[in-house]
Amino acid sequence: MFRKLAKTLLFLLLLVSVMPSWLTMAASGFFIEENEVFTYINEPPHGNWTFTRRPAIPMKINESQIRIGANWTFVYTITANRSYHIYCYGDWITDGPAPHTDYDIYVYNPLGELEGYHTEAAGLPEHLGTTVNGSLFVPKYTGNYSFVVRNDPRESQASEPATFMAIEHIEPNVWHSQFIEGKQGNVSTGNTGWAYEFTTSSEHVEIQTQVPDTLDMYEMRLYLMADPGNNKGELLNGAPLAWEPGLYGEVSGIFGGYNLKSEGFRGTDFASCEFFGQDMIINYTTPFKGEKLYHLALIGEFGAGDVNFRVKTDFGNSELRLATPIQRVYPHNETFLTAVSNSSYIHRSFLHYSTDNWNTSTVSEMLVNNRACNGTISGQEAGTIVHYRVESYDYLDNLLTLNGSFSVKHSTFVNVTLGRETIALGENLSLSGFVRPALGSTDASVKLIFTTSNGSKVVQHHPVRNGNFSASFKPSFMGVWSVQAQFDGDSARYESLSDVVNFVVAEPPFMSRYSMYIYVGIGAIFVVVVVVIVLRRRQ
């Protein structure tokens, strides 16, 4: 009896010596539900191992948990061809001259085949990417992957603390989907809380979530987990690793606090549902620049269903412009316009236009072809000012707009006629002309442009009455002149130019040129004659 009791005590002592402190793990700040994480000691098929079907929970490796020459296996259910960030770091990492602990990691797929192994030197973190330079692990199969952490007896002299973390990595600006299930009573199911990581250098992050009518979400949370540029977290193969204390709920300013339980820190920003099927959105702007690591948590409340979500970090520098400027638009003619995005591919586009300064408007969906969209505005009466606005949405739901306006007017013809083709310098030239169509506008005018060979010109304005105009002009130089009439247009008619008409300004006749001198001479002679006659009479 005594011998049996001694064997039992010896077994318990051995069991305690190899058992991880799961109580410490549970008290580390991150929640561990009894149906979330399962830990086995000296049990097949891995000996000492921990299983969770969700790669979202940090696993604390306590000091002396993995003795020199021993190993611990972490088993996750993951999906083929998705990307996972898997890393093992903590106190055992050092780049000093005397490292103490050397953890090597071996990866086995659901078929039991060795899919990868990572055996960096003591004190250096293992790179668990699928490729040599990549930071992410992309599994070939869907199922339970085993990550064996071995304390290498050849290189290690200690068993220091560590954190083993696996989490799905998602790309921003792409829609993703996840099945979420609310609690059963007060107990979370295996699908109640999910988490993902993403990295971005964008200072602004918008998270859009589409919730099905069959599900009421408790919360969506955003956690800022690393910013190596601000000494929070670190880099491995160019990828940020989460600030380790933040994985267990510790908060430092706006960093950390990672938690998938209803209670506890809600993150740097969060959103919640008030009723089934209510969509959620988070708009967050960080005060820091540079590459940052975030965790996104989705927590269900009641019901179940697929949640679609997208992390938007690209808010577009795209602009719309007209492929061809709108030229003259004539009455009752349709106006076709094509708007083109300078970078984004257009998803949907709408054309709005108004003929009464937006008191009322018409809207129609445009035809989309990659980065271009085409629309039509119906024909309008002359004198109408059409305001239009193109609203296009790219595949990231960025709104691109283009505003403009144009006038609907008649085409016009203007003509100018000269009273004479030759005039003498100093004479007035009579001109007349017309503008067609004649609408009787009182604000219309014609500009007459006179030009000489020496470049001088005179500009005059003359009103148009019932489509007709008249004018006179006195040239200041002799030579060949030209005149052209320009109709300035009005609210219902476009401007136009007449043909150029030439005329000659000639030297005036002899009498015209010297009449003054002749008259002065005759006057002088008359005065002399008068003076002579007067003097003779006095004698």
**44 and 161 co-located in one domain:** yes
How many folded domains does the chain comprise? 5
CB of 151 closer than 8 Å to CB of 159: yes
**441 and 533 co-located in one domain:** no
Whether residue 305 lies inside any domain: the answer is no
**160 and 259 co-located in one domain:** no
Instruction: Please list the rounded mean pLDDT of every run of 10 residues in the chain (539 residues).
Output: 42 38 37 70 93 91 94 95 94 88 94 90 81 85 96 93 95 92 84 94 93 95 94 88 95 94 90 93 92 96 95 86 96 97 89 97 96 96 97 89 96 95 92 89 83 80 85 90 92 94 88 61 73 74
**20 and 135 co-located in one domain:** yes
> pTM to 2 decimals?
0.66
pLDDT at 466: 84
**395 and 446 co-located in one domain:** no
* Nearest of 275, 254, 274, 267 to residue 298 by alpha carbon: 267
What's the CATH number where 437 sits? Answer: 2.60.40.1930
Residue 448's Cβ-side half-sphere holds a number of Cα atoms within 13 Å equal to 28
Take residue 293 and report the two structure tokens written for it. Answer: 């690591």
Cα–Cα distance, 125 to 104 (Å, whole number): 9
Residue owning tokens 């561990």: 32
**434 and 397 co-located in one domain:** no
Whether residue 313 lies inside any domain: the answer is no
Whether residue 307 lies inside any domain: the answer is no
Q: What residues contact 196, with CB distance under 8 A and at least 6 apart?
A: 56, 167, 168, 169, 170, 176, 295, 296
pLDDT at 184: 84
**260 and 191 co-located in one domain:** yes
Take residue 453 and report the two structure tokens written for it. Answer: 């060979």
What's the CATH number where 28 sits? Answer: 2.60.120.380
Q: What residues contact 351, with CB distance under 8 A and at least 6 apart?
A: 337, 363, 364, 365, 366, 375, 376, 377, 388, 389, 390
Segments forming the whole domain that contains residue 230:
171-299
pLDDT at 248: 94
Whether residue 355 lies inside any domain: the answer is yes
pLDDT at 3: 46
CB of 485 closer than 8 Å to CB of 451: no
**13 and 117 co-located in one domain:** yes
**338 and 375 co-located in one domain:** yes
* Nearest of 535, 533, 467 to residue 496 by alpha carbon: 467
Whether residue 123 lies inside any domain: the answer is yes
**464 and 476 co-located in one domain:** yes
Whether residue 288 lies inside any domain: the answer is yes
DSSP line for 269-304: EEE--SSTT--EEEEEE-S--S-EEEEEEEEEEEEE
Chain center to CA of 111: 44
Which residues are paired to 485 by β-bridges?
A: 448
Whether residue 446 lies inside any domain: the answer is yes
- The dihedral through the CA atoms of 436, 439, 440, 446 has a sign that is negative
**497 and 527 co-located in one domain:** no
Cα–Cα distance, 120 to 488 (Å, whole number): 83
**367 and 401 co-located in one domain:** yes
pLDDT at 326: 96
Whether residue 309 lies inside any domain: the answer is no
Cα–Cα distance, 279 to 46 (Å, whole number): 43
